[in-house]
Structure formats: C-alpha cells, structure tokens
Amino acid sequence: MGGQICRDERMVPPSALADAPRSGGEPAIKDPVKDTILTPRFYTTDFDEMAAMDLRPNEEELEAICEEFRKDYNRHHFVRNADFDGAADKLDPETRRVFVEFLEQSCTSEFSGFLLYKELSRRIKTRNPLLAECFAHMARDEARHAGFLNKAMGDFGVQLDLGFLTANKAYTFFKPKFIFYATYLSEKIGYWRYIAIYRHLEKNPDSKIFPIFNFFENWCQDENRHGDFFDALMKAQPSSVRGLQARLWCRFFLLAVFATMYVRDVARKEFYEALGLDARTYDKYVIAKTNETSARVFPVVLNVDHPRFYVRLERIVANNDRLSAADSSDAPAPLKLLRKLPFWGANALEMAKLFLTAPIPSDQYQPAIR
Ligand SMILES: [Fe+2]
Ligand SMILES: [Fe+2]
C-alpha cells in the first residue's frame, strides 16, 4: 500500500472555500453525510509508480493538453454575480433539501479530485514534471469547482468543512491504472451530467431553479479536458488498456460507476423533478453517452442496450429501498442484519449477472470515432 494523503493545510484552497457571501449570519458547518457505497470516495495511489511513468509513447498529445490547461480558459468564469442574491430563498423547503444534497455531493466529489490531483502534482513534481504540471492545473480547476459549490451551499446557510473532510475521510488506495479508469470515468460522466442539465435548462429556462446552472457549460468543458488528459495518459501507458485483465477491469469500473449513479439518482429523483427532468431518462442518457465516449480508450464497453441491463438495475433500486426500510425500523441490530442479508445477496447476484453480460469490443462499437 502506498502512503495515505496526509492533512496539509496548503492543500485546502484559499479562503475561497470558507468566506461565502450569505444571507443572515454565518453558515452552519454541515456534518458530512455518512459514508456509503454511494457517497463520493477519496483516493490515494502509488506515487512512485506514477512518477516513473514513461510518457514518450504519447508525449506530444499530453504536451498539447498541458498547453490547453495553461491557457486557463475559465480563469474568470467562476465569479458570482447578482443572480445569486436571494435566489436560495425562492426554493420551497423540499426542493431546498434535495438541492443542498446535490450541492454537497458534487462539492465532495470535486474536492476529492482536487486532493488527489494536488497530492499527485506535489509528490511527482521533480521526477515527472509534465505529468505534475497537468495534475497541478487540474487541481486548480477542481478547487474552483469545489469552492464555487461550497459558496452555493453557503447561500443555504450550510457549508462543508473541507479541512475536516481532508483529515477524516477514509482514503481508498488504487494502483495508478485503476486511478486512470476511475478518474477518467468520473471526469467523462461529470462532463455528460453537467452538459445534459445545461442543455435541458437552456430549452426550459423556467426550470432553472438556481443560478449555478448558468455556469455549467464552461464548467463541463473543464471536466471534458480532464477526461481527455486521462485518455491521453492511458494511451501513453498502452498496457493499462490492453489484455484480458484490462478488459475485465474496464467492465468492472464502467458497471460500478453506472450502477452507483443510477441507484443514487433514482433515490434522489425529486432533485431531477425540480429541474423538470426524469431521473431515469436523464441517467440513461448520461450512461449511454459516457459508455460511447469510453469506447475511445477502453478496449471494451458495456452493452447498455441489452434488454436486461435496466431491468437488473431496477431490481437493485428496489432491493436498496428494502434495505433502507430495514435500516429505519426499530428492530434490534442482529434482526436488522438478518432482514438485510437476502437483499445484499440479491444485489450481488444482479451485479454479477450484469458484469457477466457480454461486453461490446470498442473497435466494433464506434469505428467512426476511433
Ligand atoms: Fe470538476
Ligand atoms: Fe474534473
């Protein structure tokens, strides 16, 4: 196992994260939500292996991406304007609740990216300067995103204590190639999530319940560039996406990311309803697009059009409802556990069946864009 990312005050972006304008007094510091399989994770990796990476097989493309990062297109984008004044007060209590949840989860996952990229850039700075510089630029973007979201939370009278989160969240260790799969997917799915909401609200301005959505178009371009960086990095390390093992792992990560998002978004469908979106339709679109994009670099992608794909995901959704019901009952802990076991088993079975469904080789999937 590599070292854990330590708490380092320098890593917390400047006061941007703490001094939100607010209506009526100091915002309360919100306790982070309990960690579950559905909450965003914090990652750490093997920094020595990352530092030793030979980028020569795709150095030109990585250099070009770094040049794009240097331009810092969104330097002046994340500036709060008068639209935010009083906007939070216009939301009804239920919409407020689901919206704050959305902000918190987005802020945590942006911040998780910031921590990982910042730590990577710091640890490999002298040994792999090009990679270190790319990570530093991405950390800059993620700090902006997290800070902007945290300020929006401030409008609702709550904020995340990101320093506390840094020191107290559990870090998941992944070897570099797994970091590539996980972060590539989270950047690309982030891109599709933000752009889908943005385009929907462009057509339905009445559903724009909060001015933060006006910022999504340029914002998602940051995520798209980050995803392209990991695409180029995997191409610089071709062994990371070749061979039987890589094919199995890519399937695993695609499934884990899609299933987690689907289950979480359906459970939070009120948020999407508030925006005039149907959570299931929205997720199906985001999954199809992310799967299609992933075919540019992953050797295989999932057959998300398989007739059983969403049938199985829906079973997991239903099982999770029963698990939550068991959790919130007054039964003693051992009894709760007994009640939950069959649903855990059923979920594991559905995931196994989903995993074993024949994937689509990427070269057969989208010959036009490869
Ligand atoms: Fe981001
Ligand atoms: Fe990103």
Cα separation, 132 vs 120, in Å, equals 7
Asked if residues 258 and 287 have their Cβ atoms less than 8 Å apart, the reply is yes
pLDDT on residue 30: 72
Distance in Å, CA 149 to ligand 1 centroid? 10
Distance in Å, CA 228 to ligand 2 centroid? 10
Distance in Å, CA 312 to ligand 2 centroid? 30
Cα separation, 26 vs 158, in Å, equals 9
pLDDT in tens, the chain (370 residues): 333 333 332 333 333 333 333 344 567 777 666 555 556 779 999 999 999 999 999 999 999 999 999 999 999 999 999 999 999 999 999 999 999 999 999 999 999 999 999 999 999 999 999 999 999 999 999 999 999 999 999 999 999 888 888 888 889 999 999 999 999 999 999 999 999 999 999 999 999 999 999 999 999 999 999 999 999 999 999 999 999 999 999 999 999 999 999 999 999 999 999 999 999 999 999 999 999 999 999 999 999 999 999 999 999 999 999 999 999 999 899 999 999 999 999 999 999 999 999 999 999 885 444 4
Distance in Å, CA 245 to ligand 1 centroid? 29
Distance in Å, CA 314 to ligand 2 centroid? 29
Distance in Å, CA 114 to ligand 1 centroid? 8
Distance in Å, CA 139 to ligand 1 centroid? 9
pLDDT on residue 14: 34
The 10 Å Cβ neighbour count of residue 325 is 12
Q: How far are the Cα atoms of 34, 98, 277, 313 from residue 270, in angstroms, in the given order?
A: 20, 7, 9, 19
Q: Give the number of the ligand closest to the Cα of residue 224.
A: 2
Distance in Å, CA 299 to ligand 2 centroid? 23
- Lookup: tokens for 6: 């330590």
Q: Give the number of the ligand closest to the Cα of residue 69.
A: 2
Q: What is the 3-state secondary structure (H, E, C) of the chain?
A: CCCCCCCCHHHCCCHHHCCCCCCCCCCEEECCCCCCCCCCCEEECCHHHHHCCCCHHHHHHHHHHHHHHHHCCCCCCCCCCHHHCCCHHHCCHHHHHHHHHHHHHHHHHHHHHHHHHHHHHHHHCCCCHHHHHHHHHHHHHHHHHHHHHHHHHHHCCEEECHHHHHHHCCEEECCHHHHHHHHHHHHHHHHHHHHHHHHHHHHCHHHCCCHHHHHHHHHHHHHHHHHHHHHHHHHHCHHHHCHHHHHHHHHHHHHHHHHHHHHHHHHCHHHHHHCCCCHHHHHHHHHHHHHHHHCCCCCEECCCCCCCHHHHHHHHHHHHHHHHHHHHCCCCHHHHHHHHHHHHHHHHHHHHHHHHCCCEEHHHHCHHHC
pLDDT on residue 62: 98
Distance in Å, CA 145 to ligand 2 centroid? 8
Cα separation, 181 vs 102, in Å, equals 24
Distance in Å, CA 187 to ligand 2 centroid? 5
Distance in Å, CA 317 to ligand 2 centroid? 28
pLDDT on residue 38: 57
- Lookup: tokens for 89: 């007060």
Cα separation, 37 vs 32, in Å, equals 14
Cα separation, 250 vs 259, in Å, equals 14
Q: Give the number of the ligand closest to the Cα of residue 225.
A: 2
Cα separation, 116 vs 113, in Å, equals 5
Length of the chain: 370
Nearby residues for ligand 1 (ion, Cβ within 5 Å): 110, 142, 145
Distance in Å, CA 198 to ligand 1 centroid? 15
Distance in Å, CA 220 to ligand 2 centroid? 8
Distance in Å, CA 176 to ligand 2 centroid? 17
Distance in Å from the first CA to the final CA of the chain: 36
Distance in Å, CA 159 to ligand 2 centroid? 21
Q: If you search the block for the tokens 């071709």, which residue do you land on?
A: 238
Asked if residues 240 and 297 have their Cβ atoms less than 8 Å apart, the reply is no
